[in-house]
Chain A
Amino acid sequence: MRAQALKGHLDGMLLAALEGGPRHGYAVMEALRAGSGGQFDLPTGTIYPALRRLERAGLVHTRWSEDGGRRRRFYELTPAGRRALELERSAWREFSAAVTALLGPQPWPVTS
């Protein structure tokens, strides 16, 4: 998947990866890779600043927690984060429906 195409939707995908419950940064990355069938290939290091931006915007909150002998920073959706995810989702549905219709193989109506 092209990095440029991913970038505009990174926030929404990060929020979606947290929908099922709290995750730490690397687990978010693994969820995105697994969920996209390996198509999600942004450098792992770049999702950490993005997660911090979401935290600042009040869409996720974080806590440090010991897990498997390692201290990790866990991210969890806030109610505002859930609302933002729903908005991203419906905006994407509309956009992808329009693009699918335009790129589809059916003949275009004659306009002139």
Chain B
Amino acid sequence: MSGDGVTGAAEEVLAAYLGEVAARLGGGPAGIRRDILAELGAGLADAADAHRAAGLDPAGAARAAVAEFGRPARVASGFRAELAVARARRTALTLLATGPMVGILWLSAALASHVRTPPWRWAGLPADARLAAHLAVIALVTAIASAVFTVAATGRLTRWLPALCSRTSAVLAAGGTVAIDVTLLTLFAAQAASTPGRLAALPAAIAAAASCTRLALATRATRNCLPRSRS
């Protein structure tokens, strides 16, 4: 913002405005936030230049530019919606990318442990483990369908599907993933507690670690994608 006559007091006015917008942007991918503020900053400087060319002094031009851009709260709310959509998309893509990996790790653990029977028939499992496994399948189908929908709704189909839908479906995808990981880890813990000798320690530990990591990620994503009720 130099070399265009935007100096001192004028620069402060523009920076203060950008700061107010930035404070109201809320969360979201850091790269996109930076991008938004850089673009807005260049636009403000362009506006200040235009007002200077129309005869205002630098400080007056900066104030006119800020007035022309509108209230920071209004500008930020437009970007907040876009950031929420970007976050939902990122969550869904991450879940779609990591899902098969976690699945393969658990499958290798089961194969290495010579577990040929379905998880709900493993020795030492409580009687309702079968129900848990069935719920996990439902969660899996829900999570995959929701993630695919989210990616579609936040991309080319965005003109026909409102942003609110993509946020809801991202929460469903992340929530489904949480349910899957909790079930897998519970089954694993029950097996390890009752007949630890049947488990191949290393592959099972790797799969459990992967599930824990994804569980943390999905829990955070679920929280982040939910609309903020306060502030």
Contact = CB atoms under 8 A, between A and B. Distances in A.
Interface in B135-155: 154-155
Interface of B: 1, 3-4, 21, 35-36, 38-40, 42-43, 45-47, 50, 68-72, 74-75, 78-79, 81-82, 85, 154-156, 158-159
Given A44-B69, A53-B158, A72-B42, 17 more contacts: A25-B43, A27-B46, A29-B43, A44-B68, A45-B40, A46-B70, A46-B74, A48-B78, A49-B79, A52-B79, A53-B82, A56-B154, A56-B155, A58-B155, A58-B156, A70-B42, A73-B38
B78 A49 contact: yes
A85 to B, nearest CB: 13
B9 to A, nearest CB: 20
Contacts of A2: none
Interface of A: 24-27, 29-30, 43-46, 48-50, 52-53, 56-58, 69-73, 80
Given A56-B85, A56-B158, A48 B75 contact: yes
B33 to A, nearest CB: 12
B156 A57 contact: yes
Q: Binding site of A, secondary structure by majority: helix, strand, loop or mixed?
A: helix
Contacts of B74: 43, 45-46
Contact of B36 (A24, A43, A48): A48
10 contacts: A24-B42, A25-B42, A45-B21, A45-B74, A46-B75, A48-B39, A52-B82, A56-B154, A71-B38, A71-B42
Contacts of A70: 1, 4, 42, 45-46
A24 to B, nearest CB: 7
A65 to B, nearest CB: 11
A50 B158 CA distance: 13
B70 A49 contact: no
Nearest to A84: B159
Contacts of A24: 42-43, 46
B38 A57 contact: no
